[in-house]
Structure 1
Amino acid sequence: KKMKKYLTTIMISSFLFVSAYAQDLKTANVPKVVTSAFLARYPASGKLKVAWEKEKANYEANWGGKSGEDNSALFTPTGTFIELVKAISINKLPAKALAYIKTNRANVKIMEAGLVTDASGTITYEAEMKGGKELIFDKEGNFIKEA
């Protein structure tokens, strides 16, 4: 009985942790100003299946590709565009970024990579490590930070 209670507590705690990080939403539960801003910015996406998530206070639209997450656009609750992340293969990261990872994070598994364009047009790259943290690089591949 104690073990069952313990496992239930772990499962609830895990669920709450995952829910706090990213929460899947139905399109109907995304503010209209956000879906309108998304369709205005990416009109062709209206013909595709779009999956929405709540990322902290913001809203993320995922669409395209086999996984449905080749593109991820992040918007504030008022519909302001934050960034677009295009999934890329890990070996498409800049050479300097790959060298940094090999030298400084050799023991870490990189799960996926992305080309990030923010609202001002600044390009960065992200490499997601196992466990969810990301290494962020500038467009030349220079390490910026871990997030």
Structure 2
Amino acid sequence: MKTVKNELLFVLLFSIASIVQAQKVNDADVPQAVKTTFKSKCPQAASAKWEKEDGNYEAHYSMGKMEMTCVINPAGVYVQSETAINASELPKPAADYLQKKMPGQKVTEAAKITDAAGKVTYEAEVKNTDYTFDGKGNFLKQEADND
């Protein structure tokens, strides 16, 4: 009986975890307020692929060779933008921190994040863990990557 309970608990937790991750959203299901904010904040974007994560809408689009994401809450309030960058573009203190903490490991994804107030942070993914740094490259936090 205990084994069955453990199995059911595992299935329940796995189901919840998969729901929490980003979910694709059809363009027709994106609120008009979100679309309006996206067009005003990112007028250069011809089209976007939409996802919903943590209650916010994420518009993924390309600008030339740059991969961009614009995050907007359901009321149409701009939250932040993310620009994919090469690991070599991380601030030196961030790169040094990662090299010291995980020698020989490669950064699989990196991004420059600018919030609504203009505050810049950087994020780097190494071995399914996201490391966040301030605008100068000082370590802030780490958390498991759920994507």
Q: Find the counterpart in structure 2 of residue 146 from structure 1.
A: 142
In the alignment, structure 2 segments of 5+ residues that lack a partner are 1-6
State yes or no: 1:119 paired with 2:135.
no
What is the Cα deviation at residue 43 of structure 1? 1.4
Q: Find the counterpart in structure 2 of residue 81 from structure 1.
A: 78
State yes or no: 1:21 paired with 2:18.
no
Aligned residues: 135
- Identity over aligned pairs, percent: 32
Cα deviation 1:84-130 (Å, max 9, x = unaligned): 00000011111110100011133754210001110000111110233
Q: Residues 66 and 130 (structure 1 numbering): CA distance in 2 closer, same or farther, change over 3 Å?
A: farther
CA RMSD of aligned residues (A): 2.6
Residues 24-103 of structure 1 correspond to what in structure 2 (within 5 A)? 24-45=24-45, 47-48=46-47, 50-64=48-62, 70-103=67-100
What code does the residue aligned with 2:54 have?
K
Q: Distance in 1 between matches of 2:13 and 2:104?
A: 28
What is the Cα deviation at residue 40 of structure 1? 1.3
Q: Distance in 1 between matches of 2:106 and 2:29?
A: 35
Q: Find the counterpart in structure 2 of residue 106 from structure 1.
A: 103
* Contact 2:82 2:114 survives alignment (8 Å): yes
Q: TM-score scaled to structure 1, two decimals? A: 0.80
Q: Distance in 2 between matches of 1:16 and 1:29?
A: 22
In the alignment, structure 1 segments of 5+ residues that lack a partner are 1-5
Q: Distance in 2 between matches of 1:127 and 1:30?
A: 29
State the SS of the aligned residue for 1:110.
coil
State the SS of the aligned residue for 1:120.
coil
What is the Cα deviation at residue 63 of structure 1? 0.2
Q: Distance in 1 between matches of 2:41 and 2:63?
A: 19
